[in-house]
A and B are shown apart, each in its own frame.
Chain A
Amino acid sequence: AQKITQTQPGMFVQEKEAVTLDCTYDTSDPSYGLFWYKQPSSGEMIFLIYQGSYDQQNATEGRYSLNFQKARKSANLVISASQLGDSAMYFCAMKGDNFNKFYFGSGTKLNVKP
């Protein structure tokens, strides 16, 4: 079974502070990839960061980093120095290497306060 869980429907963070968005997953595939996407109010899906299950180091992309804890099956997104433009929905997704499907979590709505 493949499952992605995001337990935070909504989050608030003060501008310039860091925030962590939680994501846990379950998969029967020994090799898989984890993804985070941002969906602003305009609706498009913007790729943020990718982590492979065999990657030894946590992925980073600018202000985004992925806190990957394989034993705990978690792939939390950390946004440093939050900006007002970070206000959006954030989706965690997973794809097993032996499966052809991407599975998405239910999303976390992040609001950055000035």
Chain B
Amino acid sequence: NAGVTQTPKFRILKIGQSMTLQCAQDMNHNYMYWYRQDPGMGLKLIYYSVGAGITDKGEVPNGYNVSRSTTEDFPLRLELAAPSQTSVYFCASSYREGRSEKLFFGSGTQLSVL
């Protein structure tokens, strides 16, 4: 059971370049999220999705775009990369069982913009 898979694990971008961080989950979860974690800080929500075709902004969406064409995939697009986007990016998915809820994380993507 792969869970939440993120690729790549590491990436270095030049200012102004663009890239897509891939995220896939095989647990049939409807809810998916993208977070960024700056050094020594907590997680900030970038975008989230409640199902295929539905996405919404989180706390820090500027400079990013997402799409959710399938339940499994939730890619994050960086356009015109800036040094402020240097961070570790986590994709996550969640499910609810009765009153209990659980959030599963991918292993993260470390991105440096130079």
A interface, CB within 8 angstroms of B: 6, 33, 35, 37, 43-45, 47, 50, 52, 54-55, 91, 93, 95, 100-107
Checking B48, B88, B103, B108 against A35 with a beta-carbon cut-off of 8 angstroms, the contacting residue is B103
Checking A54, A104, A105 against B99 with a beta-carbon cut-off of 8 angstroms, the contacting residue is A54
Residue of B nearest to A55 (CB): B99
| Binary contact readout B66-94 vs A (1 if CB under 8 angstroms, 0 otherwise) | 00000000000000000000001010101
Tell me the bound Cα distance from A18 to B53 in angstroms: 46
Assess the A100–B100 pair: CB atoms within 8 A: no
Assess the A47–B107 pair: CB atoms within 8 A: no
Q: Is B111 an interface residue (CB 8 A)?
A: no
Assess the A33–B31 pair: CB atoms within 8 A: no
| Binary contact readout B29-47 vs A (1 if CB under 8 angstroms, 0 otherwise) | 0010101000011111100
Tell me the bound Cα distance from A5 to B8 in angstroms: 31
A44-B108, A102-B94 are known contacts; what are 14 more A-B pairs with Cβ within 8 Å? A35-B103, A44-B105, A44-B107, A45-B90, A45-B92, A47-B103, A50-B102, A95-B94, A100-B48, A102-B45, A104-B42, A104-B44, A105-B42, A107-B42
Residue of B nearest to A103 (CB): B45
Tell me the bound Cα distance from A85 to B102 in angstroms: 23
Chain B: interface secondary structure? strand
Given that A44-B108, A45-B90 are contacting pairs, would A106 and B42 also be in contact in the complex, using a CB cutoff of 8 Å? yes
Tell me the bound Cα distance from A54 to B92 in angstroms: 25
Q: Which 4 A-B pairs have the closest CB atoms?
A: A45-B105, A104-B43, A106-B42, A104-B42
Tell me the bound Cα distance from A95 to B108 in angstroms: 21
Given that A44-B107, A45-B90 are contacting pairs, would A100 and B42 also be in contact in the complex, using a CB cutoff of 8 Å? no
Given that A101-B45, A104-B42 are contacting pairs, would A52 and B100 also be in contact in the complex, using a CB cutoff of 8 Å? yes
Q: List 5 A-B contacts (CB under 8 A).
A: A43-B110, A44-B105, A45-B90, A52-B99, A106-B41
Residue of A nearest to B44 (CB): A104
